[in-house]
Amino acid sequence: MRMILLGAPGAGKGTQAGFITKKFGIPQISTGDMLRAAVKAESPLGLQVKNVMETGGLVSDDIIIGLIKERIAQDDCANGFLFDGFPRTIPQAEALRDAGIEIDHVIEIAVDDEEIVGRIAGRRMHPASGRTYHIEHNPPKVAGKDDETGEDLIQRDDDKEETVRHRLSIYHSQTKPLIAFYQELSAVNGTPKYSTIEGVGTVEEITAQVLAALN
């Protein structure tokens, strides 16, 4: 199964990706997590993308497409994968299509902008795994600590309100056109299957809807 989770920043892609990948035994491929790991490691890629990420801009399509091609060639992707945060522009989706990589299912998680600003303000993250919590809606068992490792949780550098609003405006101008792109592809070819989930409700409610769409 090859899936794409599509949705605005803070829509809950990372949160739901955790459940889906466990259930289907496929890896989660989050370009955001991969780039944050590179920034943390201060690798050449990390140094190149640090500023763009902190200010909430998009990393260039060439860099992203290169990263993805390298990642999906790895053994653990043989039975499929879940893209979280990729593709994010029409050229990225076209690169995927032109490389002959067929997607079985696109799941769009739809959440409005004001809800998103509140969610992101309360987000906390375990940097090593990318596991995500919310101080009210999805709290860790022990405040400030990751459930599985007990390590400290942090706030992402790009989660300041002003930066979130900038990320949202980029989502509307550059990523939203992918909705029509995949809906058209789905209508013409019958694949990928396209499902829209209303992303407001508890984490468990959204998971149930996502799993129902996948069955």
Active site residues: 13, 88, 123, 156, 167
- Is 156 annotated in a binding site? The answer is yes
- Is 14 annotated in a binding site? The answer is yes
Nearest residue to Zn ion by CB is 14
Q: Residue 123 binds which entry of Zn ion, ligand AP5, none, with Cβ cut-offs from 5 to 8 Å by kind?
A: ligand AP5
Residues 63-102 that bind ligand AP5 (CB under 6 A): 64, 85-86, 88, 92
Among 146, 167, 194, 197, binds ligand AP5 (CB under 6 A): 167
The H-or-E segment that residue 138 falls in is: none
Among 14, 18, 80, 199, binds Zn ion (CB under 5 A): 14
Task: State the Cα–Cα distance between residues 98 and 193, nearest whole angstrom.
Answer: 19
Q: Residue 58 binds which entry of ligand AP5, Zn ion, none, with Cβ cut-offs from 5 to 8 Å by kind?
A: ligand AP5
- Is 133 annotated in a binding site? The answer is yes
HSE value, Cβ hemisphere, 13 Å, CA-based, for 205: 7
Q: Residue 52 binds which entry of ligand AP5, Zn ion, none, with Cβ cut-offs from 5 to 8 Å by kind?
A: ligand AP5
Smallest separation, CB 180 to ligand AP5 (Å): 18
- In this structure, the strands spanning 123-125 and 132-134 are antiparallel
Q: Residue 122 binds which entry of Zn ion, ligand AP5, none, with Cβ cut-offs from 5 to 8 Å by kind?
A: ligand AP5
Q: Which two tokens stand for residue 136?
A: 């009210």
The H-or-E segment that residue 113 falls in is: helix 113-121
Q: In the chain, which ranges are E strands? A: 2-7, 28-30, 81-84, 105-110, 123-125, 132-134, 193-198
Q: Is 110 helix (H, G, I), strand (E, B) or coil?
A: strand
Give every CB contact of residue 143 below 8 A, 6+ residues apart in sequence: none
Smallest separation, CB 104 to ligand AP5 (Å): 19
- Binding of ligand AP5 by 140 (CB under 6 A): no
Residues that bind Zn ion (CB under 5 A): 14
